[in-house]
Amino acid sequence: MWDPSPSKARPFYRSIVAALERDIESGLLVSGERLPSQRELARRLQVTVGTVTKAFTEAERRGLVVSRVGRGSFVHQFPENVSAVESSDKGVIDLSVNTVTIEPFNTALNRVLGALSRRKSLYNLLEYHPIPGLERHRAAGARWLRLRGVDAVSDRVIVCNGSQEALIAVLAVITKPGDSVLTESLNYAGIKRLADLFPLDIRGVPTDEQGLRPDLLAEAAKGTQVGAILCSPTLHNPTNAMMMLERRREIIRVAAELGAYVIEDDSYGHLSGDRTPTIASLAPDRCIYLCGTSKSVAPGLRIGFMFAPGEIMERLCEGIHATSWTAPSLMGEIATVLIEEGIAEEFVGWHRKEASKRLDIAREVLGRPSLLPNCPSYHLWLPLPPPWRASEFVAHLRLRGVLVSPADSFAVDRSPSPHAVRVSLGSTSDRKRLKQGLEVITDALVDRPTAGTSVA
């Protein structure tokens, strides 16, 4: 039977809650386990039943326990948490998925979800709603965009089921079959899948430390009808390239000459804290701006926002209608509450600190400060010394229990890929395991094979 062994801190009921949370996290208490009755626990702890009742009430509010009249109180752990723990391979350190860690947010999320559950009209969030999104959700989106310097108003914002869906709708609306979409020669893997879906001629444009090169952008446009220019000026995935202000203005100039919209993917903008003006703020009538919450708040919060010129808003709504009808309003309400109450900003602030700490670990282990971005980021771009090839390096690490992503998985066309890998710093919640994974990478870089030998 559970023995909470709470501290003597006051108020005492909070010590009971803290002990309960500690023992659930450590695995001492498992999901579904029955807890002692409140009267029995009060007797053993030599406190009043009221104190224990208050502790159990607070624990239930936090989602730690569930109580049933006549049956008692039980440890409550969501099934998805259980399955995630059970299915993970303890022997593998996965640094290949570019995600963010969210473990400290449980209490805040439980409070928000608990408040939602007490609403009398919660059911209306499960009804169909206008395609651009509910007005208050669009207003929250405008507030979220203004944090990035975008002068957004709600009637120019569309709520989407993540940035990926927004991009699908945009490409469906502003391009025609056979049009070219110019983008960075390396971009996130979903771009290639979208190109095959429509189909589109995705043309990769060489980049430098600032991302897209305007001179090569104009060169790539020759002999083709450009439907759009797609770019990530801030913390480009996978290279972490950061586009300076003058470069952004040059991109806008080239887009105007081509008569094309710029699709600005600002998925990592909130995380970066970078204050360089977005392309959308510099040219709101030339740019379709996309951002979301997955890369700066929580990966499962699949709510994105699109800000677009008024002249194409109706067509973009039709694009959303054709892909998913509308964003899920219940998830949109969660995102809206987080934004309205300032919780989302607090999460972003925590992520910036956490990402910076993880970059410090990478700096300590890798000893190559030139590889690190100048602002918070949850991923690294690691060029490989010869004779390493990216595919061999990835295979070498896999045999040693570490997963990373090779450059060719980001190649948007058939152009040669550099010998480099992306290392994701947020895909493991445990900093010790992150450090262990980085140490394996460092060993591979130092103790590299002789040219011509195989690592298979």
Helices (H), 326-418: 329-340, 343-366, 390-399
What pLDDT does residue 77 have?
A: 56
What pLDDT does residue 87 have?
A: 42
**pLDDT band per the 50, 70, 90 thresholds, residue 261:** very high
pTM as predicted: 0.80
DSSP secondary structure, 162-185, as one string? HHHHHHHHHHHHH--TT-EEEEES
Structural domain spans, the chain? 12-82, 93-107+344-446, 123-341
Q: What is the pLDDT of residues 347-374, one digit of tens each?
A: 999 999 999 999 999 999 998 777 889 9
C-alpha 396/C-alpha 82 separation (Å) is 31
Q: Which CATH number fits domain 123-341: 3.30.930.10, 3.40.640.10, 3.40.50.300, 3.30.70.20?
A: 3.40.640.10
Q: What is the pLDDT of residues 187-235, one digit of tens each?
A: 987 787 777 777 778 899 999 999 999 999 989 999 899 999 999 999 9
Local structure of residue 277 (DSSP, 8 states) = P
Q: Say if 12-82 and 123-341 have the same CATH topology.
A: no
C-alpha 309/C-alpha 284 separation (Å) is 7
Q: Is the pLDDT of residue 17 over 60?
A: yes
Q: What is the pLDDT of residues 97-109, one digit of tens each?
A: 888 877 678 778 8
Q: Is the pLDDT of residue 80 over 50?
A: no
Radius of gyration of the chain (CA): 25
**Strands across the sheet with 304-307, in order?**
157-160, 304-307, 287-292, 261-265, 226-231, 180-184, 201-205
- 10: number of CA atoms within 13 Å, CB side? 1
Q: Is the pLDDT of residue 147 over 90?
A: yes
**pLDDT band per the 50, 70, 90 thresholds, residue 83:** very low
Q: Is the pLDDT of residue 9 over 80?
A: no
Q: Is the pLDDT of residue 93 over 90?
A: yes
Q: Which CATH number fits domain 12-82: 1.50.10.10, 1.10.10.10, 3.90.1150.10, 3.40.50.10610?
A: 1.10.10.10
C-alpha 233/C-alpha 240 separation (Å) is 9
What pLDDT does residue 11 have?
A: 85
Tally Cβ neighbours within 10 Å of residue 404.
22
| Residue 142 and residue 157 in contact, taking contact as beta carbons nearer than 8 Å | yes
What pLDDT does residue 85 have?
A: 43
C-alpha 27/C-alpha 211 separation (Å) is 46
Domain over 93-107+344-446 is classified CATH 3.90.1150.10: yes
Q: Is the pLDDT of residue 157 over 70?
A: yes
- Over range 144-157, report the average pLDDT: 96
What pLDDT does residue 78 have?
A: 47
C-alpha 19/C-alpha 8 separation (Å) is 11
Q: What average pLDDT does the chain have?
A: 88
What pLDDT does residue 415 have?
A: 84
What pLDDT does residue 119 have?
A: 82
What pLDDT does residue 90 have?
A: 62
Q: What are the tokens at 260? A: 């094309």
Report the Cα 62 to chain-centroid distance in Å: 24
